[in-house]
Structures are given as structure tokens and as C-alpha cells.
Structure 1
Amino acid sequence: MNFERIIGSSHENAPDIFPNREEKEASFNDVEKEWLEKEGIPENIQERINRLFSDNELALVSEVSPQTPEIRYPTACEWLKHRMKYHRGTKFYPCFVKDETGDTRFMKVDFRGGATLDSLRSESKIMSTFDNELRELGSPRMLQLIDPTEDTPAAIIIESISMNEGQVATSKNMTPDHVADMAKKIRYMESIDVSASVTQHPEIKNLSKARRVNEEIRDLANRSGNIIHQDVKEKVASLFLGGPELPIVFAHGDLTLKNVMNKNDGTVSLVDWELAGVGFLGQDAGKFYKDIRTNPENREIFQKSYFYDESGTLDIDRVRGLFSGIVVENLVHLVWRAENADLLDPKIQNEVATFRSNIENAISEYESITSNRYYYEYFSLPTLLKH
């Protein structure tokens, strides 16, 4: 967790967003209050968060670093105004605090209650249940869940990553070392035994109907209607539905670059476990790979590190899983638009074209990788889509 992770923009642009001026905004005008009401956020949220800090002996950290005196971290009020200005919704207030020991921690404060409180508690449950595994992954650990009161919102406190340790991952700053370490960490997550945890904690999410991935792909392709061509549907069926069900594994659930911190030592750290749960083999890999595949060197490094075991043997399930992950994610987006959006809207048409292109590229690359005879001998005859 660092400044870029919080504001979601480049460090260079930060002074224009949260300049270090002495006065701090703590109230909302009438238009802003209407927006808060629509978002389900109480207009006295700053007061409630201040009380939360006070009751738990926490102090908001304003200084980003001595090297950047022109920037400071935003108050909750300023954060919400920033989200309003750029037409972005928000569920949580991300901030840094100092506890009674003087250590700096990352804090995620619930704005609304209800579903967002459930999400916060879910993330807390995941992070506490898999605490040892998060240590192995080198990810920040959850330290405390603070339940809401009549006067204060809920929050979780997590270990922080300073700006001196690393930065938010982008397609440009992902080095081969970072990519290789990510592949290693995904393989580790996929080795975690989740069966006992799911039995003991039924609230842990079952992502993307993970117990029946083949059926989900078939259902999504059929529901997409004419939004994707018949030949693409048939390709999806013949390539992805011919093998056995993919194994269920522990999955981050939202492994995009914005949830990855590139550390200066060449390793990566995963953050934001809000959507973690039980997924299918390759689900995380597909989501991450889609973000880095345009870089030929990183693409090759990831394939080598993720597809092959230490003896150099190709793990066929991981190949099918990765590209199934890409196909499932993009089919979900396409189906939502086919069933809920105006397909004549130019913006929607552009989105549809992007998701469709992602699927077609995944099919093409999958065919290229698996075009050897040994691979096809592994599978039974493909199960085609029913029309």
C-alpha cells in the first residue's frame, strides 16, 4: 500500500490532486450532499471517521514522504470530493494511520455499511483464515478488524508498504523478475488446500461457479446470443470444453495490475483480498496474463514460469486454465452487455469489440501453444455447445 495505490494515479500528477496546503476540507456543499445520499454515505462521515481514530488511538498520516513535501494524503472528505469530481464510486476510505506504537499502518474504512460492510468482513475473514499463506506470499497481513458502532464505521488495519519499498505495478514497470515471481506466487496459491477452510467458513466466496467451470463457459457462450460469432462459440467449445473440469484452488479473484505492488527487490506483493475465495486453476493467471501479454519478453517469462514445473514438464491443466480464465472473464462482460445494455450505444459497441477481441486472441494463442500431438492425445473428444 502506498500513495499511488491510494489515489489510483501517477505520483507525478499527485500534487495537482492533493496539494499540501494547510487547510483541510471537512464539509460538503449541497450538490455534494446529494451525491453522498445517492451513494448511501452519511454527510457527517468525516466526523464519524475522526471519532473512529480517536476511540482507537490512531492518528491520520498526512505526510507522504520527506522527499515530496508538496503532497499530502487526503482526509475522508477530500477523498470523497476527489471521487465525485472524477465520477467514480467509492466503498471505502483508504488511508494511513499511526497506532499507539508509532508504527504506520494501512487502514480501510467502510463508508456505507450493508453490502460494503459484508465485503470488508469477507476480506478480514480471508486474510485471517489464510494468514500463514499470506506470510508465505510476502503480502501485507491484516492486523485488526474494527466493528462498527452507532457513532463510528467499521475498518480493517493492514500492514503497509512504503513508497521506498515499491510501487503499484503497471504494464510498463513489470520487469521479467517481477513477472517470474508473480507466476511463482500464483502457483503457490493454487497449491493451497481450500477444502477444509470452505467447510469451516461457508462465507468464503465460491468464485465464478468454480466447481463447474465447463458448464459456466457453455452457459455464458450460449447466453451471449449473436454478440459473438458462431464460429467463435464453436472454437470455445472445442478448445476449452473437451477436457476434465479444472481443479478448484485458492484464488485472489481480482489479480489485475492495480492490486500488485512491484517491490524494489524484484518480487511482487499482492493486495486487496476483498474478492478472494475458491476459484479454478488458471483463474488468477488469466486475469494477470491479460495485462502483461503485450510485452513479448514478459509473456515468454510468464509462460515458462507458470506452465512448466521444475523438471521442465508442461502442465497442461495450467495452459487450459489460464486461457479459460481469460475467456470466462470476457464472456461474463459480454453477457452482461447482451442482457442489460444498449448494443446500439457506440461506447457499448467499443466495449463489446474489446471483450470479443480478448476472447479471439486467447483462442488464437491457446491454439498456438497446444498445437502439438501430445497435448491433444491427453483430452477426450470435445463436447460441443448445444444450440
Structure 2
Amino acid sequence: MNPVLQQFREQILLASESKLPLCIQGGATKSWYGNQVNGEVLDTRAYAGVIAYEPTELVLSVRAGTTLKEIESLLDQHGQMLACEAPHFGEHATVGGMLAAGLSGPRRAYAGGIRDFVLGVTMMNGRGELLKFGGQVMKNVAGYDVSRLMVGSMGALGLITEISLKVMPRPLLETSLAFALSEQDALHCLNKWAGQALPISASAYHAGRLMLRLSGSESAIRLAKQKLGGQDVHDDKAFWISLREQQHHFFTPEQGLALLRLSLPSTASALKLRTKTLIEWGGAQRWIWTHEPIQSVRELMQNLGGHVTQFRYADASQVTFMPLHPALLKIHQQLKKTFDPFDIFNRGRLFPSD
């Protein structure tokens, strides 16, 4: 066994024996996400580096402590990318943290999320056992797909050590268009365009302005621009990075407010809430700052077939994630017990009862 993995194993076995929690983290750029975790830090950055990369096969295998910055630089040299466009939230963000947090960027609704590109995962469970799931091709799973289960698990199931990902070619060309619209008109247009053969790769609406990013060949983008209209946007790359990294002025913290992330059917109409809103993913992801009680927002989301996450600058007295239905919570608890029988990994990060 690799010496670094052996050190991880010894730390896990010691924690399991003493029943003391471990806080798994890499670059700690998303340590604010989820419920607060206490415990001894297990730092994944000691286990870093590219294991294998086959540009012609569009497959990348890396150790979990490898930074996203390093991975994206490598892919860029070959005209490729992580299509989920995952946010970094800091220069030290790691691929393990990307997987554990499960957050995707502006391209998510049009190219797929992190889960769609995970081919295989190696992890260490609460008994110090190294387990491997999946492989390096898309159709290699029989039964429960544990590799994808790890996406968004917030480190609650175990220590992710290695990851195999499908990567994608970069678009030949990208450009953006802007439209002056009301929120309801913007949602109507986004849903109409979603049913048409248009090379849309990102959308964002805020304060009367709808932004669309188009990606593809020169001819496809030219035809789309003729059909859609709108105004050309200069320096659009900086805009989409600011949106991905939540550096856009909308995300500036507001005194006494939490940033809420709403996941909704894209066909849901404009919300009747006293809020400041930013809409992404064709209407399916909405960010709000509001004085409304979070419980009333949760009830509204349930009625609309969605859910809400208390994302950032959260009220510590409120749980971050929407409480699960008892039947789903029971499944979650059983999975947690299977992989982490001594409840040492990121205890309470997902739900208070995990």
C-alpha cells in the first residue's frame, strides 16, 4: 500500500477505535458548505497527482488531493475540459472536494453534472479497507453505482482516494448574448429555447438581464444568433467565471441574510417572494437573498416540486439541507452505517442524524 494511504488508514483505524470524528478536507475551499463538522482533520492533499490520462480516450484518473487548477491546466493543453464546470471557490480546491461537494457550474444543465462524468472511484471506509468501484468506461456497472453515490456525499461515507473521470473536448467557439426581459418573460424564453436545436451552454438571469452562452461551430453559432437576436457581450468569459465562482456582485454578502439555493422544475414560474434573485440552468437553479423565514421557503419549494439548501452565510441554528422524508433518511442512515460503522467521517455534515 502507498505510504500516504497507509498513514490515512492508521488515522482512520485510530479514530474508529476511539469513536472520535474525523474531518475530511482537501483545500478547505468549501469547508463552509453543509452543517458544521468537528474533529481531527484528515488532509487529502498529501495524496495528489495524475495517475493516467488518455486524451484520445477522453479519460483522466487522478488522486483525490490533486488541485482542480492543475487538472484544468493539463486538460487545456489538449483542448479538453471538465464539462461540469465545477466551481473552485479558491485556488487550492481539489478534485476530491469537487466530487464530495457535488457542485456544478453554469454548463451543468446543458452538458451534465459531476455525477454524469464519474467513471470510477477508489475509497477507504471506516474499517480502513480500500474499496474500488467502477472503472474507466461508462458502461461498467452492474448493481448499485457506488462511484456516483460518492458525488455530493460530503465525505460522510468515506475517504475518496482516487477518481476516474470522463473529460470532453472544448467547444470550437463560444460567445454570449444579452436580452432585456422581465423575469417571467426570461423564464418563458428559456423554456421555449430548451425545446429547440440551439447550441446553448449556459444561461443566467438577474435584474432584468438574461445572458446566454452559445458553444459550438462557427456556423452553428451564427445561425443561432440570427434566430435569437440579442446583443453581443464582450469579455463574456469573465462573466461566466464570476458566476461559477460566485464573485458576481449578486453574491456579495448581505447583513443578516443567508444565500439560499433553490432547485426547481425549469417550468416553474417567477417566485412570489420578497427576494433578490439570480436564475441559472434554464430556470432550474435559483439563488435568492430573502427575509422570508426559511421554513416558509421550504414549504413553497415542496409545493412546487423542488427543494432548498441554505447554501452560504447560513444561520447556524438552521439545518443546511432540506430534511429528508423518513423513508429516504432511513436509506441514508443504512448506507452511512455500511461504509462508516463507527460514525467517524464528517459526522453531522449532511444531516444531524447521520
Larger Rg: 1
More strand by share: 2
> So what's the TM-score if we normalise by structure 1?
0.25
More helix by share: 1
Structure with more contact order per residue of length (Cα contacts < 8 Å, sep ≥ 6): 2
